[in-house]
Amino acid sequence: MRVLSFALLVASFHGLALGQTYSQDDIVSGKALQQMSKTAYDTALKRLEGSKSNCTKDTVHVRKEWRYIPGPERTAFVKAIECLMEKPNVYTNVTGAKSMFDSFGVLHYHLTPAVHNSAYFLLFHRLYIWTYEQKLRDMCGYKGAFPYWEWGLDAGGVEKSPIFDGSETSMGSNGAKVNETGGGFFGGGSGGGCVTDGPFKNYTVNFGPNTASDPLAPNPRCLKRDLNTSMCVNYASIQNTTETILESTDIESFQANLQGDFRYPKARKWTLAVHGGGHFIIAGDPGGDFYFSPLEPVFYLHHGQIDRMYFIFQNLDWAKRQTMAGTITMMDQPPSRNGTLDDILDISPVGESFKYRQLLDTVGVKSSAIRSILY
C-alpha cells in the first residue's frame, strides 16, 4: 500500500499533526480530501474569529458542491444566470457581446495571455468568479450558495451527473450525439452537438470562437457540449485532485501541478492536469475554447473547484502560502518580469481594481477585497 506522508512531502503542514499519513485507499476514496478540506475550513474560521472585519461565522458565504445544494436553490441559481444574460453588456465597443454575462467572456478574452500559466492565474480567477457571484446576487437577487463542481464525483459517467442530466435542477444536458466529436489530440466525447434538454437548451452563444477573423463580432449559435468521462477519470479524478495538493510544496509547484505546466519536470506527469481536464470534460463550443470558455455557464462551477483546491492548499500551511510565483506573461512568452503581490489587477468595466495581495485571504483580513468565502 502506497502511503504519502506530510512529513516527507513538506517540512510541515501547519494545522495538521506532523507525520499524519493517508493511505492510497483514503486518497482514492476521497477521505483524505475530505479531511484536508475540513482542516482548511477550520483554519480559516479561526482566522475569521480573530479578525476585526464585518465578516463573521454567521455572515460568511459557504460555497457548496452542486449536488449538495437543494433543488430549489439550484433552480434559483440557473434563473439568476438567465437574468444576467438579460442585463446590459458593459463593453460598448464590442459588437458581439449582448449581455452582462457576455461581458465576462470579453474580459476573459482580453486577459487570457496574462492570467494563464503566469503568476496571476490563481488570484485572477478567484476575483473573476467572486465578481460573477456578486453580479448574480446584486443584479439578479440570488441568495443561495455559490456552487462548485467536484469533478471526481462524476467519474462513473459524466452524463449522469446532477450537473448535466438535463433535469430542471441541472445546468442542462450533454450535446446531441454527432457522427464525429472532439477528435484531434483529445479524442471525442459522447455528444458534440447542441444541448438538447434542460436549462440553457435555448441559450445563444453570441460571439467567438477565438479562431474567427474577428472573435468579438456577432456569431450567434447554440451551446454545444461533448461530455467526456474518460477526461474525468484520467485527469480530474478525486485521486488527481488530492495528489495535486499533497505533492505541491509551495505556490510555484502547486500552480504548475494544477495546470500541468510542462516547464516543470515534476508537473509533466499530470499532462492536461485537473484544470485542463475539467475544461475538456465539458468541451464543445465554447467550453473547449481557451479564450471564450466563460461563455459556457458551467465554467464558473469548474473554476469554483479550482479555487476550492487553492483555498485548501493555502489553509494547510497558511503562514507560508500567502505568496506569488511566476512571470506576468503566459509561459513567460514574451519573456517578462516576475509578478508581485503589489501589482494591480483591474477588471473594469466588469468589476473593480485591487492589488493582488488583497485577494489572498477570503476571510478575516480587513484589507482583503474578498472576505466572504469558505468551502
Following DSSP, what letter does each residue of 130-155 receive, concatenated? HHHHHHHHHHH---SPPEE--GGGGT
Distance CA 63, CA 73 (A): 13
How far apart CA 83 and CA 2 sit, in angstroms, is 49
Q: How many CA atoms lie within 13 A of 56 on its CB side?
A: 3
Tell me, what's the pLDDT at 179? Answer: 73
* Residue-level pLDDT at 369: 79
Task: Give pLDDT, residue 83.
Answer: 98
In CATH terms, the fold of domain 3-374 is di-copper center containing domain from catechol oxidase (1.10.1280)
- The pLDDT score that the predictor gives to residue 6 is 28
Low-confidence ranges of the chain (pLDDT < 50): 1-19, 182-184
d(CA 180, CA 370): 44
pTM for this entry: 0.92
CA 95 to CA 203: how far, in whole Å? 18
Q: Could you tell me the three cell numbers for 337?
A: 518580469
The span from the CA of 181 to the CA of 177, in Å, is 8
The predicted structure's pLDDT at residue 17: 35
